[in-house]
Structure 1
Amino acid sequence: MGKVYYISKNVGLGLLVLGVTALATIIALSAVYHKEKAKNLGSPAGGSSNDTSTSTSTAVPSTTTSASKELWDHFRLPGSIVPVTYNVTLWPRLTPDADGLYIFTGHSVVVFHCVKETDLVIIHSNKLNLTGPGAALRGLGHVTAPAIQKHWFVENTEYLVLQLSRGLAVGATYALHTEFQGELADDLQGFYRSEYEEDGVKKIVAASQMQATFARKAFPCFDEPAMKAVFNITIIHDPSTVALSNGKDIDVADTVIDGIPVKVTKFEPTQKMSTYLLAFIVSDFVSIESRQNHLLIRIWGRKKAINNGQGEYALNVTGPILQFYERYYNASYPLSKSDQVALPDFNAGAMENWGLVTYRETALLYDPLVSSIWIKKRITSIIAHELAHMWFGNLVTLRWWNDLWLNEGFASYVEYLGTDYAEPTWNIRDYIVQYDLHKVFLVDALASSHPLSCPEEEVSDPAQINEMFDSISYSKGAAVLRMLSEFLTEPVFARGLSSYLNTYAFGNTIYTDLWDHLQQAVDNTPGIHIPCSVHDIMNRWTLQMGFPVVTIDTRTGRITQKHFLLDPDSVVERVSQFNYTWFVPIKWMKAGVEQQQYWLLQETDVNSQMRVSGQDWVLANTNVSGYFRVNYDLENWERLLSLLNTNHQALSVINRAQIIDDAFNLVRAKIVNTTLALRTTKYLHKERDYIPWESALRNLRYYIFMFERTEVFGDLQAYLKQRIQPLYEHYRTLTANWTKVLTLHTDVYNHITVIDVACVVGVRDCKEFVKTVYREWMDNPVKNPIQPDLRSTIYCNAIALGGMEEWDFAWRMFQNTTVASEASLLRGAMTCTKLPWLLNKYLGYTLDPNKIRKQDATATIQRIASNIVGLPLVWNFVRDKWSFIYEQYGKGSFSFSGLISGVTRRFSTEFELQELKRFKEDHSEVGFGSATVALEQAIEKITANIKWMADNKDQVWKWLKEELS
């Protein structure tokens, strides 16, 4: 079990006294507010407080230099004191004050143990003003607290520091009381403000987003994941609103404070938990609910959305997903209720706050008359991801952010299992290959990648922490854990996981604790054999970056592995204790017959069974269960290409996708010739499954990006038209000329893709079809004739083919829709116009939250950059507005790093590389925040693009001409 702190009888009595005085303090806070509201929010507060509540004015020390060795100059807490409980009362004002600011006031009592000698209390606090008596410290039990001599804020490390008159007693328990005021800003961080309009009335929501380092913006706290405590939350709010928090409300009372009628909602104590999982919301939202055994499940959102049934689907799948996880983890859901809330403004896609999960509206609300099957799949996957965290991450929490990968990678893996249970006809498990594994390969094949688990000292300040929320942590983490589950078998993996969760419930761990429990499960399961310990195998996948390319020579049976790099000339500066070799589990087949799994433990080995002759062929990494790429001798490649052209269904769907993806990326790494990769696409005129097509188009999209501004593009477009035309005709027939709605998911996905590509490459009548059906909608806006599943591609193509009239119509529909997913489709479609002046106008809209919400701004900029016409406009815009963009999004947005990679995706010339380097130099003083690593990766990718173009342009053009002739 995790470490438990026991509260003595005297401590309990002390807490009771603090609770009784809470209401008096609330009343006092109202008076304090009127005195304090004129102050500049977030500036350091002067004065000092001690345990007798007297104070004297004192100068506020300036933030010391980076060379200082003072405890408050380190981003990590010193660990001298450890919290036990918090009593937090917050009062958000949902109307602006005389200065136009939305503020909140509050007070907090944190009870903590002293575990090391110290005469300082260092606690996180960011953009909060101390008010009234400020801070007071008292001892609990028979302990007398030292006086607070002075206090100050440290802006860089976001601390409130209290200098004490003497040291705290080791082993003693104290209570720190603070009163404070902050701004309920619209920055989507901490305790923030969300706005929306309903029936012409502006509505304000007070919401929270604490991950990763924003709880300190709501109240002073020990804001590190290992600093778990029990939270007692009370919210004061307008009587017309409802308050939510992690626990159930246990007391709701109407009262009057300073002449203002208010409602006071008190919530049950939370389980012992981390600050980043705390949540509270004040709104006029409504809910629908169900009960699963004794568990209350509720879906909350805007009145119009919930009353129109948009929460029904989420409610229907939540119960089954929770039941699945209870069985999978062999552990009951640890809370009394499960609230899920759709917020109009939310920075992340969703957040796993324990018992109060928050979502973007597009990630929770589903309208069956308007929303596509893609939206339904996304909603189910995100719900499954967040509910997986209720145990893995919330019940058992990683000690520090350097191991974030295990938390997010695990949820990203088991979301496929939860979704598959809720919707078994979707066959969703296979999609991890394209959505996670193939996607993250492109990042992990860079010399600037990073290991899953970094040393703690590499992840200390908030920007470094936010950088960890990347595709390595999520997608590589998911792929590596899937590989681990595959070679251990799913039952063994689940037993080890259950043991881990039940052992460390309500505590913190490091990733190796999971390896220990998985090893115990292996040891206790007859018939499970692995070549060495789980630790030895997995350390090579987690403690060094990258992955291998496994090369099999079927003439000799020789197998080799090598660190795979997209640019083989790049220099890997990060040293690996394992010399970039891995223990590789290879599942394989010979001529269609599954063989016994083979472990590659050395850089080179020989397996005589992999020798073949005649027409026999070898395929390694069957079902793409391993995190590696595969190369073969040329003869085996020829046999696989022949198989694709003559009997492609002899290979599984995901192995067909794997062959394409491996071949194209082996070209980029200069391992095989570019024509070999192109030849993997020749059979596509016979392919009807979505996953291989998606793999081919994703890889050909790189060719499009590289050649779109060159003379090669016309022939590439013509070749794509040849490949896609039969698929287009197949789906036109299957849908009776696009009138019949398809039900099989792979067909739905594929016919969306086929229309999109066919219109771009000029397939006969595709353009006329999208223009006609879009015009029908324009002529009768009340009734949209476009199938929900086809809207994304038809909107985009119709706007691209049209002019101002089509764009303006989309803008009006965007402003008027009450369905978030429809608004999202329209927002994206408007980036497709080919009119530069419209794109420039749209870029300006991204700076105005009244037009484009802050949560959508960077994504909209990226979408405009994906338009070949918009690319130079965005590049100029980003360089010109960088200081503003960075200030708005660079310090806390998980999606911010995507802005740099999105803008530079097409860069492939020396001139563009030098421009990016100049941009880096010109804005070094402003900084790049959570996009710092993305900037370095962009430079590396562009360097590789330049080399690839020099090596492959002529070969590709020659091959295309030959195929077209």
Structure 2
Amino acid sequence: MPTEDPYRLPRTVLPSRYDLELVVDPDRPTFSGRVAIEVEVVEPVDRVVLNSLDLTLGTVTVTPEGGSPQEPSVDVDAEHERVALVLDHPLPAGPARIEADFEGPYCEALVGLYRSTFTVDGEERHLAVTQFESTYARRAFPCFDEPDMKATFAVALVVPDGMLAVSNAAETSRELLGDGTVRVRFADTMVMSTYLVAAVVGPLEVTEPRAVQGMAATIPLRVVHPPGSGPLAAFALDVADAGIRFLERYYDLPYPGDKVDLVAVPDFAFGAMENLGCITFREVALLVDPDGSTQPELQRVADVINHELAHMWFGDLVTMGWWNGIWLNEAFATFMEVTASDAFRPDWDTWTGFGLSRAAAFDTDALSTTRPIEFDVESPADAEAMFDILTYEKGASVVRMLEQYLGADRFRDGIRHYLRTHAYGNTETTDLWDALEEVSGEPVRHIMDAWIYRGGHPVVTAELTDDGVALRQEPATVTDPDAPAGDDDGGDQLGERWPVPMVLTALVDGTERQERVLLEEPTTVDLGGRPTALRINTRGDGFFRSELPATARAAEAVDPTTTPLERFVLLDDAWAALLRGDLSGAAVEDLVRLSAWRETDPSVWRRIAQAVRELRRLRGLDHDDDINAALAVDVADGPLGHVDRLLDDLDPTGLERWRDLRGILVSLLGVVGRDAAIRTLAHELVHTPPDEARARPDTDSTLLAAALDVVAATGDADDHALIEERWHAATNPQDVIRYLYALADTPVAECFDHLLELTLTEVRSQDSAYVLRRALSHPRFAGRAWDFLTAEWDAVLEKVPSSAAVRMFEGIRSVTDPELAASIQAFTADHPTPSGARVLAQHLQRMWITVRASERLRAEIGDGPAS
């Protein structure tokens, strides 16, 4: 079946409408269906090529408008996931209709049309659900499964009577078929891509619809959920109600569908999926008890809902032309999730919290094995590999940097112009830059092309002069000469320059000055005098590292006018300098102590606590050592005093963030600080029945979560057994994940081994990779986790979804033992992971950087030779 590109369909036949009927019973091992596709034949052809994988086709006919049907022979190309319908007589140009019966098995890897299970009153129940992004619709029905081959979809589902059936559009009719099944028909969708088609069938429940007052019409909003989970749906309805209305205002366009169903799926490989009008979620990302959850857990639910709603316009209404552009869909939706959550709960200060995610993107993007945000995509495996931290977090970060440089209003107006211009169509990345450039008058394409098509980011170095500040940039690449080379297509950036949009703030002769700079070549900014204080990443939104003189760094750490995000960035930049070998562990520790003394923001405190924990790991000392305990106690001493004073005066709207801060401090002092009183309190809280613990007037869900952290990391076998019991008994998704992950933190070797076994037996496949990732990052037992993984390699790959396989290797980035690192390197060279070569190379390089940083820090304190 020769074509110029074996992974791309010919453009000789284009679809315009699908009439799709699926016969779905989740209690049976297979499904069947029939599809009729209206197409436009661009030029006469004797073969029609479309996508199909693992489907058995029955009767197939191809009929030109006004002509006679033909029954073509079917030429199957399983390698390239397509079939050719070979015709006896050429099909003339013009309208035609393709009809096909088919049947197939449910998929096993949480993609395509697959089955999920849950238990009600001790009875296992099944539901069927779709996950078609990126190239899995072809596993459910024959189709033109490419994003730019858009069409209208009229879906009908034949399901057992009594089961709920939902799809992208509103239900229009229901017909009893007399055999115990019912045919449910849905309204036509807008023109959209195949990967957005959705169907969910099962013994599920649904909330009463909430009427969202949209710009053009009232939009019915519901949550679909397993039986008994209804009380956990109210928060999601509140978030989505506010989110839809906020996004309509932001985009200045009505919601493009006719309803919104948010569907909780017990087994789901991703966080959520933006199917038009039928958005599917992991339960933990949708169902939540606000009274029993921490602020980060609530924000996670809000962020995921807002992310998927943002896609209804940016992704569904306007779609990338091919999978190389998926970064723009996901990066912009990530940007909008934070924006919408910030509007929903301004007290959460979501952009400071996003600093943690951006820090992780920096960490990967500093490697020589990084990649450009956008790169060429050929095969389905290439498309799957796009869904990583550089697509989401780095992409969102550079979008945020551009927004802040252009100004929020000009940026928003450019987005509106882009969406109106390309509604119902497909675009390339440059279409967005052109729209923003047209509205703003700024050189947007020149700026953004450098950030999108080139991997890495710069370190901007500032040197004070008598008249101002001298700025220069160089690549922020962290390398390890002893690490084996990886897939390097974006990291060796020596000599490269980025157009760096930045705003610097300086104090000169007692007067604050701000300058807007687009830095490419070295330049000196004239400020009219020598600055006594300096910030070169004002507001903290620039995606670049800053290197300040030591005096300026210390001054910024205690400057009362800085924002929390600026203080976060200061700490994170210092940690990056430590990894590059440009800053000592002692210097970072000094900055952490200085910063902690006045800090009360929870997001900044997460970075402080993370630095303390990472210093402990890199020093390679026993986890109960005096040096690290003293550091934890010292850094906590300042904010504890602040918190004591704040608590008396705090108004109720600020109480949640104070609780968040208290939880961070309790976890840090209990685990690293070896505080006996906190460990005793934590043990008492964890061993109190959950309902009783939550009812105590002196506790809250954040404190209980912190207590669990302490007991999990310091407890004995009895504690581990109790946590496992709580995991089995948990009834809300946050508790399930909280207890499950806590099992991986045990200091008891036998308990740790038991947890590893559970990942192949009782842990859901959607969670196994992430539990193993946590196990691989254990400060004592990483080697045990690695031995288990290599011994059970085939079983692990069979258990975890292909998209998650490489993600479990993220845990190796914490490895400090050079012998273990060498073993990991050797094994992965002989055992490649599906769709993960590029990301695995990044994990491996980061692992070696950790090893070398550990050697340097151990040498600093006299606990080992320098590397």
The alignment's TM-score, normalised by the length of structure 2, stands at: 0.92
Match of 1:722 in 2: 634
Q: Deviations over 1:212-242 (max 9, x none)?
A: 1111111111111111111111101111112
Task: Classify 1:675/1:832 alpha carbon distance in 2 versus 1 (closer, same or farther; 3 Å).
Answer: closer
Match of 1:947 in 2: 852
Q: Deviations over 1:282-333 (max 9, x none)?
A: 1222222211232111111123111xx2111111221221111111101111
Q: Does 1:138 align with 2:63?
A: yes
The letter for the 2-side match of 1:451 is P
Task: Classify 1:764/1:265 alpha carbon distance in 2 versus 1 (closer, same or farther; 3 Å).
Answer: same
Task: Classify 1:110/1:651 alpha carbon distance in 2 versus 1 (closer, same or farther; 3 Å).
Answer: same
Match of 2:681 in 1: 769
Does the CA-based 8 Å contact 1:245-1:267 persist in structure 2? Answer: yes
Q: Deviations over 1:154-182 (max 9, x none)?
A: 2222112323334433x322222221112
Match of 1:44 in 2: none
In structure 2, what is the Cα distance between the partners aligned to 1:666 and 1:568?
14
Does the CA-based 8 Å contact 2:16-2:37 persist in structure 1? Answer: yes
Aligned mate of 2:430, from 487, 512, 527: 512
Match of 1:834 in 2: 747
Does the CA-based 8 Å contact 2:534-2:556 persist in structure 1? Answer: no
Q: Does 1:908 align with 2:833?
A: no
The letter for the 2-side match of 1:944 is I
Match of 1:752 in 2: 663
Does the CA-based 8 Å contact 1:186-1:194 persist in structure 2? Answer: no
In structure 1, what is the Cα distance between the partners aligned to 2:774 and 2:465?
47
Report matched runs for 1:513-662 at 5 Å.
Answer: 513-523=431-441, 530=442, 533-555=443-465, 557-567=469-479, 574=490, 580-591=496-507, 594-609=512-527, 612=530, 616-632=532-548, 636-642=549-555, 644=557, 647-662=558-573
Does the CA-based 8 Å contact 1:900-1:934 persist in structure 2? Answer: no
The letter for the 1-side match of 2:750 is W
Q: Does 1:110 align with 2:110?
A: no
In structure 2, what is the Cα distance between the partners aligned to 1:696 and 1:814?
30
The letter for the 2-side match of 1:290 is R
> How far is 1:578 from its partner?
11
SS at match of 2:313: coil
Does the CA-based 8 Å contact 1:436-1:479 persist in structure 2? Answer: no
Q: Deviations over 1:425-481 (max 9, x none)?
A: 32223322x2332221001101111111113xxx22222211111111101111111
Match of 1:168 in 2: 91
Does the CA-based 8 Å contact 2:57-2:100 persist in structure 1? Answer: yes
In structure 2, what is the Cα distance between the partners aligned to 1:178 and 1:553?
70
Q: Does 1:446 align with 2:367?
A: yes
In structure 2, what is the Cα distance between the partners aligned to 1:540 and 1:184?
43
Q: Does 1:920 align with 2:840?
A: no
The letter for the 2-side match of 1:414 is M
Does the CA-based 8 Å contact 2:475-2:493 persist in structure 1? Answer: no
Does the CA-based 8 Å contact 1:623-1:655 persist in structure 2? Answer: yes
Q: Does 1:120 align with 2:47?
A: yes
Match of 2:23 in 1: 91
> How far is 1:391 from its partner?
0.3
Does the CA-based 8 Å contact 1:143-1:172 persist in structure 2? Answer: no
Match of 2:618 in 1: 706
Task: Classify 1:159/1:357 alpha carbon distance in 2 versus 1 (closer, same or farther; 3 Å).
Answer: same
Task: Classify 1:846/1:747 alpha carbon distance in 2 versus 1 (closer, same or farther; 3 Å).
Answer: same
Does the CA-based 8 Å contact 1:122-1:159 persist in structure 2? Answer: yes
Report matched runs for 1:128-207 at 5 Å.
Answer: 128-131=55-58, 133=59, 135-139=60-64, 141-144=65-68, 148=72, 150-169=73-92, 171-207=93-129
Task: Classify 1:643/1:164 alpha carbon distance in 2 versus 1 (closer, same or farther; 3 Å).
Answer: closer
Task: Classify 1:451/1:402 alpha carbon distance in 2 versus 1 (closer, same or farther; 3 Å).
Answer: same
In structure 1, what is the Cα distance between the partners aligned to 2:365 and 2:311?
25
> How far is 1:718 from its partner?
2.5
> How far is 1:780 from its partner?
6.8
> How far is 1:186 from its partner?
4.7
The letter for the 1-side match of 2:150 is K
SS at match of 2:437: helix
SS at match of 2:341: helix
Comparing 362-371 with 215-224, greater Cα deviation is found at: 362-371
Q: Does 1:485 align with 2:399?
A: no
Q: Does 1:287 align with 2:206?
A: yes
Does the CA-based 8 Å contact 1:590-1:610 persist in structure 2? Answer: no
Match of 2:579 in 1: 668
Report matched runs for 1:231-630 at 5 Å.
Answer: 231-256=153-178, 260-288=179-207, 289-293=209-213, 294-306=218-230, 309-432=231-354, 434-455=355-376, 459-523=377-441, 530=442, 533-555=443-465, 557-567=469-479, 574=490, 580-591=496-507, 594-609=512-527, 612=530, 616-630=532-546
In structure 1, what is the Cα distance between the partners aligned to 2:627 and 2:22?
64
Task: Classify 1:943/1:186 alpha carbon distance in 2 versus 1 (closer, same or farther; 3 Å).
Answer: closer
**How large is the RMSD of aligned CA atoms in angstroms?**
2.7
Q: Deviations over 1:248-297 (max 9, x none)?
A: 011111122xxx31111001111100111111111222222211232111
> How far is 1:942 from its partner?
2.7
Unaligned 5+ segments in structure 1 are 1-68, 97-101, 524-529, 960-965
How many aligned positions are there?
A: 846
In structure 2, what is the Cα distance between the partners aligned to 1:462 and 1:317?
34
In structure 2, what is the Cα distance between the partners aligned to 1:778 and 1:310?
17
> How far is 1:558 from its partner?
2.2
Q: Deviations over 1:787-833 (max 9, x none)?
A: 22223222232233333332222223322232121112111122222
SS at match of 1:323: helix
SS at match of 1:704: helix
The letter for the 1-side match of 2:782 is L
Report matched runs for 1:799-838 at 5 Å.
Answer: 799-838=712-751
SS at match of 1:296: strand
Does the CA-based 8 Å contact 2:169-2:188 persist in structure 1? Answer: yes
The alignment's TM-score, normalised by the length of structure 1, stands at: 0.83
Does the CA-based 8 Å contact 2:38-2:98 persist in structure 1? Answer: yes
Comparing 467-476 with 113-122, greater Cα deviation is found at: 113-122
Match of 2:764 in 1: 853
The letter for the 2-side match of 1:217 is R
SS at match of 2:462: strand
Match of 1:876 in 2: 787
Aligned mate of 1:935, from 829, 840, 860: 840
In structure 2, what is the Cα distance between the partners aligned to 1:585 and 1:86?
46
SS at match of 1:109: strand
Task: Classify 1:726/1:742 alpha carbon distance in 2 versus 1 (closer, same or farther; 3 Å).
Answer: farther
The letter for the 2-side match of 1:502 is R
In structure 1, what is the Cα distance between the partners aligned to 2:516 and 2:290?
47
Does the CA-based 8 Å contact 2:347-2:654 persist in structure 1? Answer: no
> How far is 1:728 from its partner?
4.7
> How far is 1:642 from its partner?
4.6
Q: Deviations over 1:687-725 (max 9, x none)?
A: 222233222233343333322357996423332222224
The letter for the 1-side match of 2:329 is N
Task: Classify 1:574/1:813 alpha carbon distance in 2 versus 1 (closer, same or farther; 3 Å).
Answer: closer
Does the CA-based 8 Å contact 2:382-2:835 persist in structure 1? Answer: yes
